[in-house]
Amino acid sequence: MRKKENGSFFEFFSGKKFKIVAFFSLPFLSRRFTLTSASHSSLLQHHHQQFQKNNSYARVAARIEIELELESEVPVAEAAGISSEVSRLAALREAESAAAAGAAAADEVERLLRSP
């Protein structure tokens, strides 16, 4: 639109009759509501998918954490089993040496009792 050379912008429009567009008419509002509700449902669906993806990531991370704990507990359990076996073997050696010493003492007592 061209402005008049001598007048202001508002003077140019003051004499004209303009048709006012009703932005709050029923077809406009129903179309806007339809678009808004479609956008809202699309956003809800997207957020639901993101939530499901985050839950699946959390489940996978928990499984990996459990597997790592189990893998780290296995060597600890094996080491505990080995140490208990070593302690049992040491106890058996002590018992064997005590039995051998007892048998030697019994033999000595018997030899002393037989000697004149």
Residue 116 lies inside a defined structural domain of this protein: no
| CB proximity list for 22: less than 8 A, separation 6 or greater | 28
pTM: 0.40
Total structural domains in the chain?
1
Element housing 2 (H / E): none
| Cα(56)–Cα(50) distance, integer angstroms | 10
The whole-number pLDDT of residue 49 equals: 92
Distance between CA atoms of residues 89 and 85, nearest Å? 6
Q: pLDDT per residue over 27-64, tens digit each?
A: 777 888 888 888 998 999 999 999 999 989 888 988 88
Residue 60 has, within 13 A of its CA and on its CB side, a CA count of 6
Residue 3 in domain = no
For residue 86, tell me if it sits in a domain: yes
- Is residue 46 situated within a structural domain? yes
Quickly state the pLDDT bin for 4 (edges 50, 70, 90). very low
Q: Tell whether 1 is covered by a domain.
A: no
Domain residues for 82? 27-110
Residue 52 domain-assigned?
A: yes
Q: How far apart are CA 100 and CA 36, in angstroms?
A: 95
**Is residue 49, in this structure, part of any structural domain at all?**
yes
Q: Within a domain: residue 81?
A: yes
